[in-house]
């Protein structure tokens, strides 16, 4: 299980929501099969529907 908090710690170079989406895709393509969102990304460009966007991003990448 990939948790969003773990991803944010491991990918400390990520500074925008768009970069976060790319990191989520990379992890999905590397074989992660589950994705959990335990924190809200604190980026200035994080949209209100960030959970739905990240879930769709992860699911469509696999």
Q: In 3-state terms, what secondary structure has residue 35? A: strand
pLDDT at 6: 97
Which residues is 2 bridged to in the sheet? 35
**Mean pLDDT split into 10-residue runs, the chain, 62 residues:** 97 97 97 97 98 97 86
Helix H or strand E segment including 40 = none
- Model pTM above 0.85: yes
pLDDT at 23: 98
pLDDT at 11: 96
Can you point out the beta strands (E) in 5-59? 35-36
């Amino acid at each position: 299980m990939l948790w969003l908090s773990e991803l944010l710690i491991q990918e400390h170079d990520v500074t925008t929501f768009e970069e976060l989406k790319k990191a989520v895709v990379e992890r999905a393509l590397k074989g992660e099969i589950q994705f959990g969102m335990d924190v809200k990304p604190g980026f200035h460009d994080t949209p209100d529907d960030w959970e739905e966007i990240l879930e769709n991003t992860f699911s469509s990448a696999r």
